[in-house]
């Protein structure tokens, strides 16, 4: 415990705070379609998802090892750099949550870390080949694979049930969605909770508390699982509304197909150690399910804004992480305190802004378009 300095403790707490925001930011990945189709009540959905996220955190550590010893050089990383990177990730998560955009929490984390390490240790501190192999390629391939799988599954689901009574089909697929959405939650815990485990493990390695290329200790796995589970239970209703109601017109067979496709892609990637974005996988699956049903409505404007958010997430978080790292590098403990206070203030402003137009469990299935009330009312496409 001699290696756990005050700064290391601050970084661990900040990492768990990011994990919490990851939970409520990504609840929609597992439960948006089940809530939209009525397969699960909103509060029941987030409770089930939260519990299974905790369980999933204990199933694998391959992604955690990719974070702690893959994309950056753990021998050059300091706790201060990791703190700066986490600040960038948390602020981007809060901004996109306010806008109701299902951007990638994973890429926010990677971007924040890459920017902070690049500024703090130089470009040689970032393993660009691993970034391409483990982050960028999965980002391109995974939503396409999930979308095609969901499209085919949706087409087959409607063909096979074409002669059955509509009420029986709806009831049957809603029951199936309970199982498929639960599996997505389990897979989400297996993939996303590990990213925070990796960050905390990287911090402990940089502080000398763990050996080079060590895996996450049990207490790290447990705390990361609980943090993401609690965040998931909070709901993240704004993004749930966008994915459940704003992206495509979803019925229960489509929801089942989308969730099954997402589970298969996420679990396969977690086993291989690919730190992919579960948000991108789930969004690709929902689009594929929308295209798989004849005459279903797909809202391409929403999809376009979502893809734009995907494209700018990593560089935006990297920019904030880099700026924070520069202040910390030149300001020492004072710089760290300044960054912490600025981040808390910005987070408070974002949360206060969200209360102007609250999205809750009781209105999450309302119209997907919401107006953010400011001094001069403006329409924000899918800010829900």
pLDDT digits (tens, 9 = 90+) for 270-290: 777 776 788 899 999 999 999
pTM of the model: 0.83
Query: pLDDT by residue (tens digit) across 319-351?
Result: 999 999 999 888 888 888 999 999 999 999 999
Q: Does residue 369 have a pLDDT over 50?
A: no
Examine the pLDDT at 84 and tell me if it is beyond 60. yes
pLDDT of 173 reads: 93
Task: Select from 118, 79, 78, 96 the least CA-distant residue to 323.
Answer: 118
Give the model's pLDDT for residue 378. Answer: 43
Q: Is the pLDDT of residue 85 over 70?
A: yes
| Whole-number pLDDT of residue 382 | 40
Q: What is the mean pLDDT of the chain?
A: 86
353 vs 214 pLDDT, higher one: 353
pLDDT tens for each residue of 299-322: 888 889 888 988 999 999 999 999
Q: How far is CA 295 from CA 145, 152, 259, 289, in A?
A: 22, 15, 21, 12
CA angle 50, 54, 59 (to 5 degrees): 135
Backbone angles phi, psi at 96, to 5 degrees: -70, -30
Judge whether residue 80 has pLDDT over 50: yes
> What pLDDT, on the 0 to 100 scale, is given for residue 3?
60
Residue 377 has pLDDT above 50, yes or no: no
- State pLDDT tens for residues 142-194: 999 999 999 999 999 999 998 889 888 999 999 999 999 999 999 888 888 88
Average pLDDT over residues 243-262: 88
Task: Give the per-residue pLDDT at 383.
Answer: 38
- The percentage of the chain sitting over the pLDDT mark of 90, rounded to a whole number, equals 41
The pLDDT of residue 261 is above 90? yes
User: What is the SS3 assignment for 372?
Assistant: strand
Q: What is the pLDDT of residues 94-112, one digit of tens each?
A: 999 988 888 888 889 989 9
> What is the C-alpha to C-alpha distance for residues 339 and 112, in angstroms, rounded to an integer?
14
Asked if pLDDT for residue 114 goes beyond 60, the answer is: yes
> Looking at residue 66, what is its pLDDT?
66
Q: What is the pLDDT of residue 68?
A: 60
- Evaluate whether 157 touches 173 at the Cβ level (below 8 Å): yes
Q: How far is 161 from 84, CA to CA, in rounded Å?
A: 52
Distance CA 233, CA 48 (A): 8
Is the confidence at residue 376, as pLDDT, over 60? no
Give pLDDT tens digits for 22-76. Answer: 988 888 888 888 998 889 999 999 999 999 999 988 887 776 666 666 688 878 8
pLDDT reading at 379 higher than 70:
no
pLDDT of residue 371: 40
| pLDDT at residue 384 greater than cutoff 50 | no
Residue 221: the pLDDT is 92
Contacts of 271 (CB under 8 A, 6+ apart): 60, 62
């Amino acid at each position: 415990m001699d290696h756990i300095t005050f700064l290391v403790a601050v970084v661990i707490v900040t990492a768990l705070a990011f994990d919490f925001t990851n939970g409520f930011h990504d609840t929609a990945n597992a439960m948006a379609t089940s809530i939209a189709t009525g397969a699960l009540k909103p509060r029941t959905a987030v409770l089930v998802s939260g519990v299974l996220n905790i369980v999933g955190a204990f199933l694998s550590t391959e992604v955690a090892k990719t974070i702690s010893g893959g994309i950056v050089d753990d021998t050059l990383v300091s706790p201060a750099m990791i703190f700066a990177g986490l600040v960038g990730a948390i602020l981007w998560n809060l901004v996109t949550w306010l806008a109701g955009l299902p951007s990638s929490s994973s890429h926010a984390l990677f971007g924040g870390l890459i920017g902070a390490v690049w500024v703090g240790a130089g470009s040689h501190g970032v393993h660009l080949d691993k970034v391409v192999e483990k982050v960028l390629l999965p980002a391109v391939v995974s939503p396409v694979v999930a979308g095609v799988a969901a499209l085919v599954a949706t087409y087959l689901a409607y063909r096979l049930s074409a002669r059955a009574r509509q009420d029986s089909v709806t009831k049957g697929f809603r029951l199936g969605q309970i199982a498929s959405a639960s599996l997505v939650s389990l897979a989400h815990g297996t993939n996303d909770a590990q990213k925070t485990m990796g960050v905390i493990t990287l911090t402990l390695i940089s502080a000398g508390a763990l050996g080079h290329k060590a895996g996450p200790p049990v207490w790290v796995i447990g705390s990361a699982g609980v943090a993401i589970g609690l965040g998931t239970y909070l709901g993240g209703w704004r993004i749930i509304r966008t994915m459940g109601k704003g992206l495509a017109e979803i019925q229960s067979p489509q929801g089942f197909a989308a969730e099954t496709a997402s589970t298969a892609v996420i679990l396969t990637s977690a086993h291989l150690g690919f730190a992919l974005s579960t948000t991108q996988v789930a969004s690709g699956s929902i689009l594929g399910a929308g295209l798989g049903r004849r005459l279903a409505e797909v809202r391409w404007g929403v999809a376009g804004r979502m893809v734009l958010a995907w494209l700018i997430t990593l560089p935006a978080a990297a920019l904030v992480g880099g700026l924070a790292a520069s202040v910390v590098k030149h300001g020492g403990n004072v710089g760290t305190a300044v960054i912490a206070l600025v981040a808390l203030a910005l987070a408070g402003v974002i949360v206060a802004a969200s209360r102007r137009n609250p999205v809750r469990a009781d209105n999450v299935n309302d119209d997907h378009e919401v107006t953010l009330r400011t001094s001069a009312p403006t329409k924000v496409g899918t800010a829900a």
